[in-house]
Amino acid sequence: MADETRTPQGGGSRAPVSQRPLTVAPGSAGIGSQVTVKIDGLDLKVPFGTTILEAARMSNIRIPTLCQHDDLCIAGVCRVCVVEVEGMRTLQASCAYPITQPITVSTHTRKVRQARRHILDLMLANHYGECYACWRNQNCELQALADEYGVDSFRFGHPDKPKVPKDTSSYAVVRDMNKCILCRRCVRTCIDLQEVGVLEAVNRGAATTISTFMDKPLSDVVCINCGQCINRCPTSALAANDPTDEVWAAIDDPRKHVVIQTAPSPRAAIGECFGLPAGTALTFELNTALKQCGFDRVFDTNFTADLTIIEEGTELLLRLRDALVDKKPEAVLPQFTSCSPGWVKYLEHFYPEMIPNLSSAKSPQQMFGAVIKTYYAKLHGIDPADIVTVALMPCSAKKFECNRPEMCDSGYKDVDYGLTTRETAAMIKEAGIDLLHMPKSEFDAPFGSATGSGVIFGATGGVMEAALRTVIELVCGVKVENLFDHARVLPVRGFDGIKYAELPLQAVGPVPDILKGLFTDWNWLRGATLRVAVAHGTASAKKVIEDIKAGGKFSECHFIEFMGCPGGCIGGGGQPIPTSREIRAARAKAIYAEDEAYPVRKSHENPAVLELYAKFLTDGPCGHVSHRLLHTGYTPRGKYIY
């Protein structure tokens, strides 16, 4: 992600130094060679073009930064990272200074310290608010630097009231420009990392501000609610729209039956909010903590992830038959996954003509809400009007998704509230619960049964891998372990922005019982090659969509997984801050380890899901009941059913 090279208009961003053309001065080293640099008296040899900041980090020499982020291209606007370079009149921004010839650098001279302190004082002069009442208190980069540089007074004054009102129009993201320090991380995230372009730096000098198009509220622009800007903002200028007060009110109301579903990604990340290293899974400790918070039931979103795979996989097979056998002109391929609400909103805004490619299957979050307020309510004799469904998700866009007006097929709002990992951690702390020392407890029945396939939904490629495990077995009639060691479908794993794989279906088996109402045989798939792709982050999604429109390789795919966030859900906009490629990799490692610990690792073998079909979704996958509750209006065959 740190290698994006697009230059935003007016955003101040530039490509990483390693990718920018360098002017080689006469007598200096050449590209590909090593250059000598002395930093604070330490002699180093670094690759030509390495920045001073990168060279310092190689030797564990700390240079403070604010606008710099490892996921983003260089801006060099905050100047907190300034250093002295011998022979140069002015201080230089170490994040943007490429080393092309031998230099001597000093990182903490009096001149440097004074400059950094003045910069911080000037930022604080425009930074309204009380740290104790801020959600980023003790996790704010500006606050940490102010402490480090001994800021004990507001040398240039301090705002006594906010200059502009907060923008709370979005269900997902809240903007408070009174806390903005103009580092432009949000701009670079939105333009470079995600290629959405909602935010931009406008005006010049002291009048500079970060704005949307015509300064409209976020709800009125093409924001996809992904929250990636929140994860990279160094202060609290950006935040998720927090519903914890409403959730506490529901818990405290004896008339309400409050249930929570927990997605896999938060369980691999929430420990970071309590000081644990990234990738420390606390799945079963979290169950106990949530019950002690007062939730009446704690369910596993992996249950409906398995349900999603069966519905989405069946839809794919129906589309393939429509296209390959019946030659229906309305058959639309490739089929796109639809469980990432940020990705769905991106498609709706930028490529609405390709909405028919989206699977009609709802996300696991929304499927769960519909099942809770119908099947579960009837099973336990509870009035659905008294059920409050809460979803613990890694994602800020899930807050928008549960508030979409069409997400009420149960007859009620299917999911009432979406909580991020950060918000849930705050609730646990508020309740005085020591999460790290909680005893382990299982998920509650009847939705406590899940598989490894549901777990891996949290990482990029996980939905595709889960779908392939099921579709291959249902069609080929052989164990997926016979084709992929330990059912690890490695071609779709990893953090490459786009992945592509071809899977020959050399043999077919009998139609399994669960699909006999839809198919009589698989002979029409014998010898076919299933072509699939995976893309994470909407910048990668854009490349795939443009390739499809141009008739390129991806237009020949049958199934493509898209995730709105870099890394997939493990990098979601509601996950703990900070984020980086290494942190996301550690979270993914925890998820794959949990997958392999499950006794059942394929969605179609989940006994609780099979029981749901037997007792409730009795006309099978993609049947009428399933489509009414678990799908949006668009069906695999391009017709509306209601």
Q: What is the CATH number of the domain that holds 266?
A: 3.40.50.1780
Q: Is 401 a catalytic residue?
A: yes
Beta bridge partners of 103: 37
Catalytic residue among 170, 338, 340, 359, which? 359
* Residue 99, pLDDT score: 97
Which helix or strand (DSSP H or E) is residue 288 part of?
helix 283-293
User: What does the DSSP 8-state code read for residue 154?
Assistant: -
Calpha distance 88→349 (Å, rounded): 48
312 is catalytic: yes
Last residue of a domain, one of 387, 407, 437: 437
Give the count of domains, the chain: 2
Indicate the SS3 state at residue 264: helix
Q: Is there a contact between 374 and 380 (Cβ–Cβ < 8 Å)? A: no
Residue 26 forms part of a structural domain: no
Question: Active site includes 131?
Answer: no
- Does 572 fall in a domain? yes
539 and 421 in a common domain: no
Question: Is residue 431 in a domain?
Answer: yes
The pLDDT value given to residue 358: 97
Q: Are residues 281 and 373 in the same domain?
A: yes
Contacts of 261 (CB under 8 A, 6+ apart): 299, 300, 301, 304, 365, 368, 389, 390, 391, 392, 447
Last residue within a domain, chosen from 413, 437, 461: 437
- Taking the C-alpha atoms of residue 450 and residue 609, their distance in angstroms, rounded to an integer, is 8
- Does residue 369 share a domain with residue 355? no
Same domain, yes or no, for 406 and 392? yes
Looking at the structure, do residues 459 and 560 belong to the same domain, yes or no?
A: yes
Q: Are residues 614 and 568 in the same domain?
A: yes
Identity at 356, one-letter amino acid code: P
Q: Among 4, 54, 141, 401, which one carries the catalytic annotation?
A: 401
Domain enclosing residue 267, as ranges: 244-301+365-437
Specify if 617 maps to a domain: yes
Residues 6+ apart with CB under 8 A from 132: none
What CA–CA distance (Å, rounded) separates 66 from 202? 20
For residue range 154-188, list pLDDT tens digits in order: 999 999 999 999 999 999 999 999 999 999 999 99
Strand partners, 560: 336, 533
185 within domain boundaries: no
Q: Which of 312, 306, 315 is nearest to 519 (CA)?
A: 315
Structural domain contains residue 320:
yes
Are 377 and 327 contained in the same domain?
Answer: no
Catalytic residue among 312, 473, 561, 594: 312
Residue by residue, DSSP assigns 473-529 as HHHH-S-GGGTSGGG--GGG-SS-SEEEEEEE-----PPPGGGTTT-S--GGGTT-E
Token reading at 302: 């992996």
Q: Indicate if 526 and 543 belong to the same structural domain.
A: yes
Catalytic residue among 186, 229, 339, 622: 339
- Class of residue 131 by CB neighbours under 10 A (exposed 0-12, middle 13-18, buried 19+): middle
Which H/E stretch holds residue 584? Answer: helix 581-597
Let me know whether 504 and 585 are in one domain: yes
Q: Which of 81, 190, 233, 569 is catalytic?
A: 569
For the domain that residue 529 is a member of, what is the CATH number? 3.40.950.10
Cα(371)–Cα(225) distance, integer angstroms: 25
Compute the distance between CA of residue 640 and CA of residue 544 in angstroms, rounded to an integer.
Answer: 27
Co-location of 459 and 358 in the same domain: yes
- 390, 409, 437 — which closes off a domain? 437
In a domain, 532, yes or no: yes
Active-site choice (315, 423, 465, 561) = 315
Listed as ranges, residues in the chain with pLDDT below 50 are: 1-23, 635-642
513 and 552 assigned to the same domain: yes
Is residue 359 annotated as part of the catalytic site, yes or no? yes
Instruction: Note whether 311 and 427 are same-domain residues.
Output: no
Alpha helical stretches, state H, 96-139: 110-125
Residue from 148, 330, 406, 502 carrying the catalytic annotation = 406
Q: Is residue 319 part of a domain?
A: yes
Tokens of 623: 């049947």
Q: What is the pLDDT of residue 168?
A: 98
